[in-house]
Structure 1
Amino acid sequence: MFTQAEAVFGRAGVGRAEFASWLHFAATVLGHHDYAARVAEAEPGLPWRTVWAWWRPVGAYVAEPNLSGDHTAEVYDLDGGAALKVWALWCEDTWFDLDTGRRLPAPADGEAVRRDGDDPDGARLFDPDEDGRLLHCPGTWEEPVPLGGGRYLYVEDRGVVVVEENAAALAGWPRGGADTGSWESAEDAPWFRPGTRGSGPLTAAGLARTFGEARVTRVPGEELPDALEHRATREFLSEVGLPRHWAAGVSSFEAAPELLRPLTSTAPEAGDEDLLHLGTFDFGYTDPGLVGVHRVTGEVRMYQESVIPLARDVAAFTGLLESVRRYMGACWSPYPAEDGIGAFHEAVRALDPGAQADGSPSAETWEHLFAAITELSVYGY
């Protein structure tokens, strides 16, 4: 908790009360709400508290939230309440209850009325002007959306947060303007217990968190073709699954509409009758790549101009695609104390070292796919 707070806000020598605000934020982001409540109880003089947050913690490599690039957060009034709609290039419209942060279904047409924002009189909570309070916040916490009642909404690449100022504690707070440079002093990314933040073997729940349950295809064991003899592949496709759609940069992958048909029925020129069709890559600038799994060995191969090995098995292939999607935000918008690209390379090497080894026939393909998040921006250039 302490290292998460310092990784976001830096290592400035702040007092007990302000550090309590940092700690309250970190606990809320990590989902430790009881701990956050105890922090607030132990330090009633904290200058601000976190009401709720949809936020990617430092060192946590998750697919959402990822608000890298263009993004918006709009407040709407509903019958009996208010809601927040968040959109970004890699985030479809997502609705939240404005007071609690609870996920909401999209309202029906005409049920939500967009609220016009009004700037409050006087200094904001994290106001960089000289008459603002001398508080510390990340350099990305700019242009807040005032919500009234001392609450503010901050939106940036890593997520959204609603904070509330403590008017009594701030009444005599020193002035001089908010310090937005402290977070640059953060040194080390926090440590997480293995298996708690996306590490470990890919599971059905993990795949669903990354792509959404509706965008994962699984085949019940009794419906798998008898031609697929590789037991581990049968178990993976029936229990974990395969993303229906994947995209990064100019490239995309679509699962085959008729999964596990012989690849030669789609491309007779592929010639290998032991390959069963998993899906197809669209690389943007070159010929499509038809992906198949060997029905006996479980190896994943791709046919373009010829058949080449692509991944050790379906689990490795799916894991590599899932990792690109999950590490996007950390690669495009890392915290100062975070090496998202380095962490991504380490993760994918562990999944299938042979697929990316120098001289491997598949190395060029994976380098092209990985470049979407390691070399190109969120905008694809």
Structure 2
Amino acid sequence: MTDRDLRTLLDDPALVLRHDRAALRARLTALPEGDGGVGREVFTQAEGVFGGADVSSAEFASWLHFAATVLGHHAYAERVAAAEPGLPWRTVWAWWRPVGAYEAEPNLSGDRSAEVYEAEGRRLVKVWALWCEETWFDLATGERRAAPAEDAAEPLDDVDPDEPWQFDCPETWEEPAAVVDGGRFLFLDARGVVLVQGNETGSSAAGSGPRGWTAPGGGGPWFMPSDAVGALSGPRDGSGPLTAGRLEHVFGNGQVVRVPAAELPEALTHAPTRALLDQVGLPHHWSAGVTSFAVDDELLGPGPDGLLRVGAFDLGHCDPGEVFVHPATGAVALRQPDGSHGPGGDAAFPLVRDLEAFVRFLEGVRRHMGACWDPYSGEEGPETFLRAMATVDAEALAEDAPGAEVWEHLFASVTELGVEGY
């Protein structure tokens, strides 16, 4: 079978479901990294989430349908359902972090909840977690909705299911967060929330219920290059260019500070820094564990030794760390008098190459939080995060770098500490 034949096979769910999974997996592993399409992305994601257990073709169709829905390949999901009308369950909608995708949301690590409400004749789902503000969805479609007025939403009780959930699925799906009419089950996980619907005609394909994850082998999840036909998003690891929209997505609407070019001080002559502040911005506030950062009320005001003010870190039980930018070189420096993290004293010391790298470090923590705290089986959350940060500015993280201890302290919020901060 040629690579072209394999891609044709993968893009046809009916052929995938008739083919031996192990043989397909082995063939996929041998494909060049840049070669593949929607079918490869969906197949590897399905096995990344559900594992390599030997299940019926109908059950695997449910896995493919879930993966395609999570990845946004809805046309492929429809073709899966058409190819296997007896699939035991289907995904109605999902707000879910794919395996191998390092994105700020959804991150439902720690305490979390998903509740169904009735509001103005519409059923809504409210999702909340420690690191996720209340987010509302239309129960029927999964579309995001504005929060209803406080007194306009009434919580709905679960309905009694015709039979308990018993299909092969991750062990974290042992009990649904809610049971709604029409044989629909709402499942909540650290990686997201999903509404699934049982299929009466496919119930005979049910497995033994929630189970442990079995490694499928092979090369793990694969994503289409961002410029490929059918690709629905940019890089999943944060390697693409920083944009205003990207920061708004990570830190929230209205939570990014930008300074119009006309309002930037003349003293700031470093062109890349001027462009970043004008076109991309800085997070107004950032936090992880017991540490946080806030932009200075006098952003770009005068600092020591001709530096300009950026903001300050609360580093825990020690002096704050004041952040400055050099107006000509764009280099970012920190002053932390008591020396708890860094050389100490009144002089500012080098922290990171420039303001873009500074923002990427803060954004990187937010992007990788979920994968560090609640990695999928087979994911290496902290290791992947640290490798990604090294590609941003390896010199700032080198053992002998002046600011290395500061970054080690900040990064420990996700690499060493749990979601509760200890």
Q: Which band: TM-score by shorter chain?
A: over 0.9
Matched, 1:185 2:225: no
Matched, 1:22 2:63: yes
Matches within 5 A, 1:155-304: 155-170=188-203, 172-173=204-205, 177-181=208-212, 183-187=213-217, 188-192=219-223, 193=225, 195-197=234-236, 198-263=238-303, 271-272=304-305, 274-304=306-336
Matched, 1:110 2:170: no
2:119 to 78, 84, 90: 78
**Aligned-pair CA distance for 1:200:** 2.0
Matched, 1:138 2:192: no
Instruction: Choose 238-247 or 302-311, whichever is displaced more.
Output: 302-311
Is this contact kept in 2: 1:8–1:186, CA < 8 A?
no
Gaps of 5+ in 1: 127-134, 264-270
| Mapped partners of 1:373, 1:168: distance in 2 | 45
Amino acid in structure 2 at the alignment position of 1:287: D
TM-score, structure 1 as length reference: 0.92
| Mapped partners of 2:132, 2:174: distance in 1 | 21
**Aligned-pair CA distance for 1:205:** 1.9
Distance 1:186 1:258, change over 3 A: farther
Amino acid in structure 1 at the alignment position of 2:151: G
**Aligned-pair CA distance for 1:121:** 4.6
**Aligned-pair CA distance for 1:169:** 1.4
1:315 to 343, 356, 359: 356
User: In the alignment, which residue of structure 2 is the partner of 1:94?
Assistant: 135
User: In the alignment, which residue of structure 1 is the partner of 2:78?
Assistant: 37
**Aligned-pair CA distance for 1:319:** 0.3
Q: Tell me, what secondary structure is at the counterpart of 2:384?
A: helix
Q: Tell me, what secondary structure is at the counterpart of 1:213?
A: coil
Instruction: Choose 323-332 or 199-208, whichever is displaced more.
Output: 199-208
| Mapped partners of 1:261, 1:48: distance in 2 | 59
Amino acid in structure 2 at the alignment position of 1:163: V
Is this contact kept in 1: 2:173–2:210, CA < 8 A?
no
| Mapped partners of 2:400, 2:43: distance in 1 | 44
| Mapped partners of 2:59, 2:175: distance in 1 | 21
Is this contact kept in 1: 2:51–2:215, CA < 8 A?
yes
| Mapped partners of 2:320, 2:302: distance in 1 | 17
Is this contact kept in 2: 1:30–1:57, CA < 8 A?
yes
Is this contact kept in 1: 2:324–2:332, CA < 8 A?
yes
Is this contact kept in 2: 1:186–1:336, CA < 8 A?
no
User: In the alignment, which residue of structure 2 is the partner of 1:147?
Assistant: 180
Amino acid in structure 2 at the alignment position of 1:257: D
1:328 to 360, 369, 387: 369
Amino acid in structure 1 at the alignment position of 2:235: T
Q: Tell me, what secondary structure is at the counterpart of 1:352?
A: helix
Distance 1:174 1:205, change over 3 A: closer
Is this contact kept in 2: 1:186–1:337, CA < 8 A?
no
Q: Tell me, what secondary structure is at the counterpart of 1:153?
A: strand
Distance 1:286 1:14, change over 3 A: same
**Aligned-pair CA distance for 1:186:** 4.1
* Corresponding pairs, count: 361
| Mapped partners of 2:386, 2:371: distance in 1 | 12
Runs of 4+ in 1 over 6 A off after TM superposition: none
Gaps of 5+ in 2: 1-41, 227-233, 338-346
| CA deviation vs aligned residue, 1:100-139 (integer Å, no higher than 9, x gap) | 01101010121100112244253x223xxxxxxxx32111
Coordinate RMSD, CA, aligned: 1.3
TM-score, structure 2 as length reference: 0.83
